[in-house]
Structure 1
Amino acid sequence: MTVPAPIAELLAAARRAQRAGDVAGMARLVETALAAHPTDFDAGLMRAEAAVHEGRYADARAALAGLEPAAWDDPRRLLRLAEFHSHMGRPIEAERCCARAVALSPNDTRALYDLAAASIALGRLDAAEALFDRVIADRSDDWDAWANRSTLRRATVERNHVAALETALAESGGDAEARIALGHALAKELEDLGRYDAAFAHLKDAAAARRARLSYRVADDAATMEAIAAAFPADLLRDAPPPSSEPGPIFVLGLPRSGTTLVDRILSSHSRVTSLGEIQDFALALIAQARGARDKGDLIRRSAAMDHAALGRAYRARTAGRTPDAPFAIDKTPLNFLYIGLIALALPEARIVHVRRGAMDGCFAMFKTLFRMGYPFSYDLHDLAAYRITYERLMAHWRAALPGRMIEIDYEALIADQAGESRRLIEGCGVEWEEACLAFHANPAPVATASAAQVRMPIHDRSVGLWRRYEQGLAPLAVALSAAGIALDHRA
């Protein structure tokens, strides 16, 4: 009789397989572990993780559901389940697990924090603020709680956290994480109060502290975008299948903080459209189809020559597992702008909605946002300029090589003429107009982006031209963009 390997050894081997890109091997090892240890919680979580990597979302949901009864009286396990639900874009399930964890352990600051995060995604902003208040009262050095609390509403003279934030920053002893989180929070609240010089001073220091912790070269991203344009010339894209009028995915893409979440909420307020949120399914389907690409350059070369119809089928198979409840499903991953050529080749039924924003307002909006993951170019003005310049060139390439293939929405035009631009957007996607699209702020669907609080308010124009309040501090960005021939403001 063969003695099964210890569970720890099997799971460690599964993790090594994952790191090596062998997700199928990871899944096999996890199933071997579960065959011998069917009730092991860690193995069950890894089963769900392997299923997500392979695009088997129904299997992942089933695995998590099977684990919840055994975790129901264990706050630690509940929070691990909640974290996994959050990564899968399931804030209702995450909130349920976090609420139970808080009920079991009312003073657990991690449980309180995680419940606040789930509450934000579900639009329960007052509840989230109260939870962050509790976290900060118990653990004043939870800098993320301070930063997130400041994003939940517009600060006023009567109601703000500026004095408390300044005191916490002064008492932090120069801690880098405190400088980053508290500096961003102060910049946001001081801007709300119209104290622009003080806001920029804190923002500049916080962004510099964040940038100092990153190992990043914007030249690498610029080279990648240039290589993509070279690999997908106009003569290759002329062979793309003609656009189909059949229901299908709607890609809402562009730079972060350009208005992609606003456009997503307008579209998903329609009865025939649902949002899948910011998912990685297209990139993951591409990597799987490229089969062993050595690096980014090799991936780009393989992507141009691969079977694009097969790529489309792989993407459809992955997103079908997410069980969209409408004929049209939004993939709102901003950096999918890198893949516009591939989307056109692989998915003739896809609608491609490119959201644009004036260069200075767009770059400044990124500069003042503390992203938890991704967008490392956003913390330095020179990096921002270099990235924006190369992005503009890539989008000009797609525009010339795929004339008429994209629906282009300007953030400023949408703000100025919400009804007219919303109609153009909806009709461009091939669905009939519904008045609910004008009440996007009443859309109850979860949202898990940096705009989670803003998109629950009606449209306003406070951020249009806002960069001019910081013109002196942003001068290096303006000079670099102007030298590249890029207009600083939106042109109607």
Structure 2
Amino acid sequence: MHITAMPGDLRSASADALRRIDGHRQSGDAAACVAALHALTITADGQPDLLQELGLRYTLLGLHMEAERCYAQAAALRPRDPGCLYNHATALTAMGELTAAETLLDRTIELAPDDDAAWYNRSTLRRQRAGDNHVAALERQLARLTNDHPARIGLCYALAKEREDLGLHAGSFAALREGADARKSRLRYRVEDDLDTLRLIQRNFDENFFARKHDGYEDTRPLFVVGLPRSGTTLVDRILGSHADVSSRGESSDLAQAVVRLAGPARDKAELVRRSATMDFRALGRAYCATLPAGPAQRVIDKTPGNFLYLALVTAALPQARIVHLRRHPMDACYAMYKTLFRMAYPFSYDLDDLGRYWLGYDALMTHWRRVLPADRFLEVDYEALVADQEGSSRRLIAHAGLPWDDACLYFEQNPEPTLTASAAQVRLPIYSSSVGLWRRYEHELKPLRQHFDQAGVPIDEDWKPAA
């Protein structure tokens, strides 16, 4: 979305109402937040700034249909405002209305040619084809910009994606490297800080932690799908979410926010980890479940990949929750992250050395969880196995959720529920295997990444074996 701050020309009553809504969301009171949003929406006709603000908040709550209605009204009131058009296109993408979204992004780019987010998002909506792509237009736009222009980042990622679609692999990686290097240069990030946190989590949530009895909150609904981004979490979310008794909340920061809120004041990540090991787990479980959407679903999916950091807390706070971990070949997983422009998240993904080091730290933590988590609550699924045997893997997933089989899970591409992730366009298609082994197209370019795995003894070629 292009709305990042409350505009100054909102009516004071509306601004106050939005602040109260934000307060409800920050405190984890989802019901009060949604009720207040609906009440304010009724008064928003003819107010494009307010409609934009409402659309943003609906999006943050995963209520994409409501967001689309707000953004559509705002765009109708301001048909030449590229921000309004872009936000409406984002909501349409979540809804699976990809052709309409592309049309709006075409118009956004006409009005704001330096909007690199619009160029990038448009490129991701479909597989580009010879005679029907934007490669020449992207190249012309890049030629107009200075080497340090910030819009080059999104344009380079868009060009890399479209060239890869067309089989222009050398040119694709050249554009990708330029975009990633430019993005990395604008970040203040040290992968070692994240690695320290991963190691600290292992030390604080060891066998002794799991040997103790924890008084958690009894709720059968939570179902967590975790892993690295681009590892197949959205695909599994769509398969599980196609079941008649399952709903999905998509990606959410509610668990992380509840941990921060209830662990108490902490100076840094290290202190937060230590405090969270002795927090009130029942209160954490109750607070998290208060954020779940109301409805009859027996299971509610939270597919936030980064929740793999909190699996000890999930186990202690939610004794009936189920966890699914997605694994993927390390080279494919890291290349898939490297070629994705995440904007605010995953700062390790813009540098091959950072990616290799982060993957090894993540893998060490998952090896630890595999050893200490209750086996009946923790299921690992390999992306490659899911692609090779969709039905077999899907049946394992549904059985792990404790539900009877539903044939709708085999036709996840027909699932009408909205989704807004980096895979929003791909999951509207039947399962495909073209991404398996894609990294081999770039073996030379990815040598710095592979060296980390070779030095750590991670088998990459025919000896690499996913989890059983």
Classify the TM-score, shorter chain: over 0.9
Query: Per-residue deviation at 1:470?
Result: 0.4
Query: Per-residue deviation at 1:238?
Result: 2.5
Aligned to 2:251: 278
Aligned to 1:429: 401
The total of aligned residue pairs comes to 455
Give the % identical residues.
Answer: 51
Amino acid at match of 1:225: L
Amino acid at match of 1:491: K
1:433/1:241 CA distance change after superposition, 3 Å: farther
Say if 2:28 and 2:288, in contact at 8 Å, map to a contact too. no
Aligned to 2:389: 417
Q: Give, in whole Å, the separation in 2 of the partners of 1:482 and 1:436.
A: 42
TM-score, normalised to structure 1, is 0.89
Bigger radius of gyration, 1 or 2? 1
Deviation digits for residues 218-243 of structure 1 (CA, Å, limit 9, x no counterpart): 00000000000000111221335699
Equivalent positions of 1:326-405 (< 5 A) are 326-402=297-373, 404=375, 405=377
Q: Give, in whole Å, the separation in 2 of the partners of 1:239 and 1:439.
A: 42
Matched, 1:461 2:461: no
Matched, 1:491 2:458: no
Deviation digits for residues 155-195 of structure 1 (CA, Å, limit 9, x no counterpart): 11121110111001111222432221111001101111111
Q: Give, in whole Å, the separation in 2 of the partners of 1:218 and 1:465.
A: 26
Aligned to 1:89: 62
Amino acid at match of 2:362: Y
Q: Give, in whole Å, the separation in 1 of the partners of 2:369 and 2:260.
A: 22
Q: Give, in whole Å, the separation in 2 of the partners of 1:169 and 1:66.
A: 45
Aligned to 1:76: 49
Aligned to 2:83: 110
1:69/1:430 CA distance change after superposition, 3 Å: closer
Equivalent positions of 1:439-478 (< 5 A) are 439-478=411-450
Amino acid at match of 1:100: Q
Q: Give, in whole Å, the separation in 2 of the partners of 1:129 and 1:163.
A: 17
Query: Per-residue deviation at 1:126?
Result: 0.1
Say if 1:234 and 1:402, in contact at 8 Å, map to a contact too. no
Question: Structure 2: which 5+ runs fail to align?
Answer: 1-5
Query: Per-residue deviation at 1:308?
Result: 2.0
SS at match of 1:451: coil
Question: Structure 1: which 5+ runs fail to align?
Answer: 1-14, 16-37
Query: Per-residue deviation at 1:364?
Result: 0.4
1:52/1:246 CA distance change after superposition, 3 Å: closer
Say if 1:361 and 1:464, in contact at 8 Å, map to a contact too. yes
Q: Give, in whole Å, the separation in 2 of the partners of 1:78 and 1:108.
A: 14
Deviation digits for residues 16-55 of structure 1 (CA, Å, limit 9, x no counterpart): xxxxxxxxxxxxxxxxxxxxxx961111110100000011
Say if 2:215 and 2:282, in contact at 8 Å, map to a contact too. no
Equivalent positions of 1:38-53 (< 5 A) are 40-53=13-26
1:242/1:463 CA distance change after superposition, 3 Å: farther
Deviation digits for residues 380-423 of structure 1 (CA, Å, limit 9, x no counterpart): 00100110011011011111112514100000000000011111
Equivalent of 2:196 in 213, 217, 223: 223
Query: Per-residue deviation at 1:69?
Result: 3.6
SS at match of 1:422: helix
SS at match of 1:305: coil
Instruction: Name the stretch that deviates more: 94-103 or 441-450.
Output: 94-103
Amino acid at match of 2:251: E
Say if 1:82 and 1:97, in contact at 8 Å, map to a contact too. yes
Equivalent of 1:60 in 17, 25, 33: 33
Aligned to 1:10: none
Equivalent of 1:141 in 111, 114, 117: 114
Say if 1:353 and 1:409, in contact at 8 Å, map to a contact too. yes
Say if 1:48 and 1:64, in contact at 8 Å, map to a contact too. yes
Q: Give, in whole Å, the separation in 2 of the partners of 1:455 and 1:123.
A: 9
RMSD: 2.0
Deviation digits for residues 199-253 of structure 1 (CA, Å, limit 9, x no counterpart): 0000001000000000000000000000000001112213356999973210000
Deviation digits for residues 228-285 of structure 1 (CA, Å, limit 9, x no counterpart): 0000111221335699997321000010110000000000000111001111121122
SS at match of 1:176: coil
